Amino acid sequence: MSDAPAGLRPTRWDAVPPGTAATAYASLILNRVADGMPGDEQPVDWDHAPLTGGFAPDAPIRLLPLPEAGRGLLADRPAATLQTITDLCHIADGIAALRLSVNLNDRPEVHTLARSAKWGRTTASGGGRYTADLWLVQGAGGDLAPGIHRYSHVHNGWEQLDGHDRTEEVRAAIGDERAAHRYLVTTIDYWQSAFKYHDFAYQATAMDAGTLFGTFHRLVGDDVAGTWNMTLDEPALAAVLGIDARDDGVYAVQAWPAPDAAGGAPATRPDRGAPAAAAGLPVPVPVPAAGAYPIRRGAHRPQRFPTTLALQRDHAASPPPTRAVARTLAPVLTPDADRAARIAALAARETSFGRFTGEAVAAGAVRAALEAGAAAARALAGGTVRFDALVSATAVDGLPAGLHLWRDGRFERLDPEPQDAFLASTYFLQNYDGRRAAATVVLCANVFELAERDGVRGYRLANAAIGAGCQALLAAATEAGIGSGTALGFDARAHAEHAGLDLGETSPLLMIMLGRDDPRAGRLDVSATTIAAASGPRIGGRR
């Protein structure tokens, strides 16, 4: 096994040499079990946890209907309307379900108090923290007032935080050659994850950004391929949104055309004129000035961690690359008869905490899930990110037991011996029993190569692609009736050494367990969903 680059374990993250923070951080994550993390000794203060989503309580808000058959994303021929974009945001990031269920990942009161019910969302997130925020930077004219709007996952609406057309500034910050009617921007709130994961949060949140794209890809397929621009000027975009990039990173921008330009037409913006009132608002609303409505995220100020500060400082100091990059295109929304079924599967997906039975799953279903993950990663990053997987097969019909490398659609058997003992030695939490999983998948990518070449941008891209692949894999597994659980807390170096990986080529980043769920696990199991299309059976036959 080729080792990670040497000399990259700084003792002072405020003095990391310029251009090396991403590689140093990737090495820190790889060796976290053996060497520890800077914030390991800091306790998690659950009583003062930040909200799993901020809000601007005094801002004007435009409410939209929840997803429903026959309109928006679920119309026969979806158009690039505000309703369609809001449907995407709700299904990917909104509160889609209320769940009461016993599992092995919660504090004791969750098992006994109805007030501790989980407000479920369809997109996986590191530690259930939901760190991604979605913004619309809207131009003049159309179905939303000009300005900066932030998606409220609680209200399924858009809080207007700025009343000025800022689309030209966004276009300049992403280096796009064409102006768009509006831009959907994805940002990350670091403290929302770091209060729990401390210095490990930067990796988890980079994946969180990608999981949103994974949901988008699952909903509309390759219509969104190549539409997420992650090669951007973060300080400029943070200034447009009125956020501090030390606390909220700007990860991706997606251009959207005017509603009447759907179907593949170039993304264009109407001529500037007098700001138009947002269609459907019952009364005129005042035009907010920049910074007029601050976002609340909880009662306590965020704490900044040295690794995140070093990475963000490096990213801000590194201008976007001047070499040719793929420019974003506006999404093309095509008819899709199976979209409602995929939405139902997303709404039904849950994490299989302690529910695996040990029953076998079909090799074809595992292969299809891996291929779905690879397709989503490719749609986000093109061919830049290598999407590999180590697959430990325990009970997979059609795939011999042992350790396999899945690469480019093929399995290569690396070790015929049972992997249970090794897996148990490298996963150190109690919420999953890997011995009852049919297969354990460790997703890998060329994170060191990209971090060395492109710095923080490369590190973010690699982890976002893994996040996108993870989300698509989980959704495909659900559609096949397979339960899943995802783990961040495992020994990545041990897996790399065990498989003989060349770390310059690919490195373990995320663990996923697949298996059959016990329908009887959890004596209380109640759920309700906001998505009218989501009426299919749940995993294990539970309703």
107 and 70 both lie in a single domain: yes
Least confident among 120-129, 201-210, 381-390, 409-418: 120-129
309 and 363 both lie in a single domain: no
Q: What is the pLDDT of residues 350-359, one digit of tens each?
A: 888 878 999 9
71 and 103 both lie in a single domain: yes
What is the pLDDT at residue 294? 76
Check: CB of residue 500 under 8 Å from CB of residue 414. Answer: yes
Q: CA-CA distance, 82 to 87, in Å (whole number)?
A: 8
Q: What are phi and psi of 206, to 5 degrees?
A: -60, -40
Let me know if residue 328 belongs to a domain.
no
Let me know if residue 325 belongs to a domain.
no
What is the pLDDT at residue 283? 35
Let me know if residue 215 belongs to a domain.
yes
Alpha carbon separation from 198 to 351, 476, 507, 542 (Å, rounded):
23, 31, 22, 36
Q: What is the pLDDT of residues 147-198, one digit of tens each?
A: 999 999 989 999 999 999 999 999 999 988 888 999 999 999 999 999 999 9
311 and 350 both lie in a single domain: no
The region, left, alpha or beta by phi > 0 then psi within -120 to 50, assigned to residue 408 is left
- The percentage of residues in the chain with a pLDDT greater than 90, rounded to a whole number, is 67
Boundaries of domain holding 164: 20-32+39-282+304-317
pLDDT band at 434 (very low <50, low <70, confident <90, very high): confident
Q: Which residues contact 251 (CB under 8 A, 6 or more apart)?
A: 132, 186, 187, 188, 206, 209, 230, 460, 464
Let me know if residue 330 belongs to a domain.
no
What is the pLDDT at residue 178? 84
Helix (H) or strand (E) holding 189: strand 182-189
Mean pLDDT of 91-108: 72
120 and 263 both lie in a single domain: yes
What is the pLDDT at residue 49? 87
What is the pLDDT at residue 526? 63
Check: CB of residue 142 under 8 Å from CB of residue 258. Answer: yes
pLDDT band at 111 (very low <50, low <70, confident <90, very high): low
Let me know if residue 99 belongs to a domain.
yes
Q: What is the pLDDT of residues 232-259, one digit of tens each?
A: 999 999 999 999 999 999 999 999 998 8
Let me know if residue 240 belongs to a domain.
yes
Q: What is the pLDDT of residues 203-215, one digit of tens each?
A: 999 999 999 999 9
375 and 481 both lie in a single domain: yes
Q: What is the pLDDT of residues 219-239, one digit of tens each?
A: 999 999 999 999 999 999 999
Owner of token pair 């479920």: 120
Q: What is the pLDDT of residues 525-541, one digit of tens each?
A: 566 778 766 544 333 33
139 and 260 both lie in a single domain: yes
Under DSSP, the state recorded for 431 is S
Let me know if residue 428 belongs to a domain.
yes
Query: Does residue 262 have a pLDDT over 70?
Result: no
Query: Does residue 281 have a pLDDT over 70?
Result: no
Query: Does residue 31 have a pLDDT over 60?
Result: yes
Q: CA-CA distance, 130 to 191, in Å (whole number)?
A: 11
367 and 487 both lie in a single domain: yes
Q: Where are the alpha helices (DSSP H) in 330-489?
A: 339-348, 363-381, 420-426, 447-479
Picking from 318, 366, 319, the residue whose alpha carbon sits closest to that of residue 482 is 366
Q: What is the pLDDT of residues 460-517, one digit of tens each?
A: 999 999 999 999 999 999 999 999 999 988 999 999 999 999 999 999 999 999 999 9
Picking from 512, 518, 489, 495, the residue whose alpha carbon sits closest to that of residue 369 is 512
Q: What is the pLDDT of residues 308-353, one digit of tens each?
A: 999 999 999 998 876 555 567 899 999 999 999 999 889 888 888 8
Check: CB of residue 496 under 8 Å from CB of residue 507. Answer: yes
201 and 60 both lie in a single domain: yes
pLDDT band at 519 (very low <50, low <70, confident <90, very high): confident
Let me know if residue 463 belongs to a domain.
yes
Q: Which residues contact 316 (CB under 8 A, 6 or more apart)?
A: 234, 235, 245
Q: What is the pLDDT of residues 408-427, one digit of tens each?
A: 999 999 999 999 999 999 98
Q: CA-CA distance, 231 to 181, in Å (whole number)?
A: 20
What is the pLDDT at residue 102? 61
**E runs forming strands in 38-85:** 61-63
270 and 414 both lie in a single domain: no
Mean of the per-residue pLDDT values for the chain? 86
Q: How far apart are the first and last CA of the chain?
A: 47
Check: CB of residue 89 under 8 Å from CB of residue 144. Answer: no
How much is the pTM?
Answer: 0.90
Q: What is the pLDDT of residues 60-82, one digit of tens each?
A: 999 999 999 999 999 999 999 99
Query: Does residue 85 have a pLDDT over 50?
Result: yes
309 and 356 both lie in a single domain: no
123 and 188 both lie in a single domain: yes
Radius of gyration of the chain (CA): 22
What is the total count of domains within the chain? 2
CATH number of the domain to which 118 belongs: 3.40.109.10
